[in-house]
Chains A and B, each alone.
Chain A
């Protein structure tokens, strides 16, 4: 399950997995991103925090091509960064010009998304949900993918749910399946969009536990979250966004314990009061 035994060996070394520059995006007259830069190093966990409407989810979705920024670039990997699906070559998308379906597909080749509302396919069993991408899109041998899926399911404690339908699972179980579905794609980068926001409080822990284990194993991740305690535990870098700009960034302990910027201070204080 660790990134090193998913044939993604390059992930072990140092180097830049992802580099986004000057991302800008407006929905009509509503400007959501005003020039965002993000660098993610191999094995690094980056937490994006900020009030709702700050643009953090839009940044995350841009990295997976679910939103197409109006301007800016996203560069994936360097020469030695190979994926199962992609060629070894790096990839740069410049959103200032037209971006084709093929380029978006190449972007999605390299990252996998875990959604706030899980977005499992309700008409497929847990196993089918997991193997759909690897079998249908990546064209990997079905037997190999099934074995891998069963291993991953066991890893998150859901080996007995492989033939269940999503509606038969709790939210926490569905989200763990969502995480396994993303892992099965063997991406270079895992993206989490508020993975515990839709969960009942008593189910949050089991999902955060899985994410923490992935972090410990060296997966490279970008996580949008409101769980500051979790971010402090897991993230190497915290980026605080507000109003479509990065207000503050730095090591998790610094940004969350001793924020420099007034807006960060207020935000951190407010969320901690809620706890």
Chain B
């Protein structure tokens, strides 16, 4: 068997292109929306109101208890039967955001709970309201705790976006699949796409370490 180096080089462009115009923006948009959703869900979960925390608990349970691929298909292939027809991109962003929202909510909730009660009290005693204490005192400390687990969620999301190829989103893996089908060089194309995912995740891991170092500057070592 001869190794098709020409194909390696010529497919590199479309695969990187898929990462830049598909995988990366899809990941960033979904993670940003997902995090915002997660914060909201975490706060609902922590609310003394039983109905609100019940809703949040139910949401987290459904998201974590069902496959991401099924969630994607429900939104893209399922919703049209209810008259809601969404394009591939919005479908993917909604599905991934909802997914991140469910997982990250638990991370954020645990991080908020890990901040000592005395910090809430200190905030209150200098006159801060609950929301003010949350934003200025509690969340900055919770952020430090939640960086490692949220980085996991982020890195998983990068790889999970490959599932969007199944609802026709043009991203890294869909480009690889098309070239593979055309050239019949499955091994080359799939290994190549694997290495690009890996590369992205390596960069993210480096970023995670830098962020952790930055947030650790006020902690004794």
Contact = CB atoms under 8 A, between A and B. Distances in A.
Interface of A: 64-66, 85, 101, 105, 108-109, 112-113, 115, 117, 119-124, 132-133, 136-138, 165-168, 181, 185
B126 interface: yes
Interface in B184-217: 217
Contact of A121 (B129, B137, B219): B137
Interface residues of B, number: 21
Interface string B117-148: 01101101111110010001100110010000
B218 interface: yes
B119 A119 contact: yes
A115 B220 contact: no
A123 B218 contact: yes
Given A66-B121, A119-B121, A121-B122, A137 B140 contact: no
Nearest to A121: B137
Given A113-B125, A122-B218, A136 B136 contact: yes
Contact of B128 (A115, A123, A136): A136
Contacts of A166: 218
Contacts of A136: 128, 132, 136
A179 to B, nearest CB: 13
Contacts of B121: 66, 113, 115, 119
A163 B207 CA distance: 27
A113 B128 CA distance: 13
B114 to A, nearest CB: 12
A167 B218 contact: yes
A136 B219 CA distance: 24
Contact of A66 (B125, B126, B220): B125
A37 B217 CA distance: 46
Interface centre among B119, B127, B144 (most CB of A within 10 A): B127
Contacts of B218: 122-124, 165-167
6 contacts: A64-B125, A66-B125, A113-B121, A115-B122, A123-B218, A124-B218
A137 B127 contact: yes
A115 B124 CA distance: 12
Contacts of B127: 85, 105, 108-109, 133, 137-138, 185
A137 B130 CA distance: 12
A122 B125 contact: no
A112 B124 contact: no
A104 to B, nearest CB: 8
A115 B129 contact: no
A74 B140 CA distance: 34
Given A117-B118, A119-B121, A167 B132 contact: no
Contacts of B136: 132, 136
A66 B125 CA distance: 8
Contacts of A109: 127
Contacts of B125: 64, 66, 108, 112-113, 115
B124 A122 contact: no
A97 B100 CA distance: 44
B152 to A, nearest CB: 23
B121 to A, nearest CB: 5
A187 B18 CA distance: 61
